[in-house]
Structure 1
């Protein structure tokens, strides 16, 4: 039997929910789960499968029999091909509904938790142009549309500057306009591409590992006063590099940090590379209340600046700070949460695995004239021990904001042994958060839960949980 014949057609599937990675959930009359691309709850579709797993199918719609009343017209011309904003066809209030539902479902289904009433999700003020950091890739062999593939005409221009096609490491979607980052992001990206093509600057060939231009990163601030532009070059050609960088320096006065990297590794991560400043400063500055944070090319900072402020205010509120607390900030990153609460507590000890992040945290704390924060670099499960606490003091409050995989089991065990009065758990993955909370609730009760939408038009959602030590 041919591969084509193994694909199955489903008729009149009603989308009833959202599931893994935001995909639309449907069920056949015999209970088989089918995840359908580019559909939303309320749609009724005919669909054809393209992948089969033991417990479900993945399918693409071939006809919409009925459209959901909650549909909206996507604003982006690249919707459906670019994988960045999969919920752009769903009204924002419905996006919020399903994000809140996913948090509640994960906490109850995975964590088996006895929950208080969950607060209404904190919506984002901006649902487009909210990101302060975007990364784009160059390619000399861009993703072609079906119309281009079927055309008899030779494709004249194959260079691209944009995003990876989901699931295809070697294909880049060429972007005309992106609705995620404020101006002058689109203008800069499009001018880089135009100038590079006009001046025969080679775009990266990922398969052959050659070419001048590899990646481009743009960072902005909520104040709108500064732009960082970093171009990653593969070939080391000083004359061509200077030609492009000088053009950008002259063309965009908004660029206050013009940087570059020469990276000839197999991967394009820059964290082990030297960043060279061509023009301006090596950093841009973000402001939050009376704090300022210097952000360089390698810094981690929440990518929705306005909503990060809301997230931190909720975290501070959940902490119920009295003024004399010893606070541990686990997975502190560059110390933004630690410094955000520092002036209201006795002292804060921040722990983070990335040494460079800790150095930036110390620098920012010094600039902000904060002297009651101590930042320590090291593997969390090795650093956060009873011996460490004996040296730095028993915590009254622990704030933890781990990566997507959640906290290591040894870290959870230490928390249970230490028994701080309060824990505030900030998470970008409520599934792993639920796993950790199930263990913590042996000694703690959950008092507050508040989801926060950091990424409109996507299924991603942050969640903040407050825990109190049981009496």
Structure 2
């Protein structure tokens, strides 16, 4: 164990400190200015990976966690840091990455805050696994492919957590089993939720064509979850990509209508669409402002 004072936050969700012998320590938690007690996990010649065991002196910018699964779940890195401080450190991380990796010194730039700091994601992917209470729908553990239960997640749109929990309960009452990649057994791989603020598309992803107790599942979701406007079965034999394969609509239209900058889009189950609608609106407005004095009507989207 060693007492450390955290200097800064860096890319990858780590915090950085220096040990008594001058080595760089990358820690799995903690915020700048905090004094922590940390244990050594791994070490190399130029740095050490360490685990924070206790916060001795907390930062004034530390806040209470927003969900019960933090920090075990990998959905958030800095959830207990006040949002304005998150933006400040995101800006510093971006500038450092451009300078250290790209050898580019950035001019002064702004980090634009999301109008919604929670409940902003239009899509969430929950992995199906065998938990302590049976079939579970959760997220992956931080920096791992090991699934963990998530309760009260604040990333997805309001209503997502209710739908996730109820579908989890319905699946537990069927003969459906979580798909196990190692053994190849089981059926259910993921539950994907997509929303537009007024309705939710629920997508059940299976390894093969069989969806156990389909009629019961459809009946319960349709009658107990008014928020779900369409239920889709996605058959995906590929273990490397979540949203891929042939889909069939179990009820509803099988699409989700989304409006963006006055344009109406019909989003099918596996289509890409920006996850943060409010920030996407700001990006479009920025592009329009930049193009205001441009000649011509062509735009190159270089990524």
Query: TM-score, with normalisation over the residues of structure 2?
Result: 0.92
Match of 2:189 in 1: 214
2:174 to 187, 191, 199: 199
Match of 1:443 in 2: none
With 233-242 and 47-56 compared, the bigger mean Cα shift is at 233-242
Contact 2:8 2:17 in 1 (8 A): yes
Equivalents in 1 of 2:158, 2:167: separation in Å?
15
Q: What pairs up with 1:72-83 in 2 under 5 angstroms? A: 72-83=63-74
Match of 1:264 in 2: 237
Could you tell me how far 1:212 is from its partner in structure 2?
2.5
Seen in structure 2, the aligned counterparts of structure 1 residues 263 and 288 have a Cα distance that, compared at 3 Å, is closer
With 65-74 and 199-208 compared, the bigger mean Cα shift is at 199-208
Contact 1:210 1:235 in 2 (8 A): no
Seen in structure 2, the aligned counterparts of structure 1 residues 108 and 212 have a Cα distance that, compared at 3 Å, is closer
2:122 to 132, 136, 152: 132
- Size of the alignment, in residue pairs? 303
Match of 2:153 in 1: 178
2:283 to 311, 314, 322: 311
1:30 to 21, 33, 37: 21
Q: What pairs up with 1:343-354 in 2 under 5 angstroms? A: none
SS class of match (2:285): helix
1:247 to 196, 205, 220: 220
Equivalents in 1 of 2:255, 2:57: separation in Å?
51
Equivalents in 1 of 2:116, 2:26: separation in Å?
29
The structure in which a higher percent of residues are helix is: 1
Equivalents in 1 of 2:85, 2:252: separation in Å?
43
Q: Deviations over 1:73-118 (max 9, x none)?
A: 1111111110111101111111011011122223344444454432
Could you tell me how far 1:127 is from its partner in structure 2?
0.9
Match of 1:94 in 2: 85
Equivalents in 2 of 1:180, 1:51: separation in Å?
31
Contact 2:187 2:211 in 1 (8 A): no
2:59 to 53, 68, 76: 68
Could you tell me how far 1:285 is from its partner in structure 2?
1.6
Could you tell me how far 1:69 is from its partner in structure 2?
1.5
Q: Deviations over 1:5-56 (max 9, x none)?
A: xxxx3x2211111112121111124331101112111111121111223421
1:290 to 262, 285, 291: 262
Residue 158 (structure 2) pairs with residue 165 (structure 1): no
Equivalents in 2 of 1:248, 1:177: separation in Å?
20
Seen in structure 2, the aligned counterparts of structure 1 residues 268 and 23 have a Cα distance that, compared at 3 Å, is same
Could you tell me how far 1:235 is from its partner in structure 2?
4.9
Could you tell me how far 1:167 is from its partner in structure 2?
4.1
Q: Deviations over 1:268-310 (max 9, x none)?
A: 5333x11111211121121123211221122111111111111
Equivalents in 2 of 1:68, 1:88: separation in Å?
14
For structure 1, the residue ranges without an aligned partner over 5 or more in a row are 1-8, 143-154, 331-399, 403-471
Seen in structure 2, the aligned counterparts of structure 1 residues 108 and 20 have a Cα distance that, compared at 3 Å, is closer
CA RMSD of aligned residues (A): 2.1
SS class of match (1:59): strand
Match of 1:149 in 2: none
1:228 to 193, 201, 207: 201
Equivalents in 2 of 1:162, 1:129: separation in Å?
17
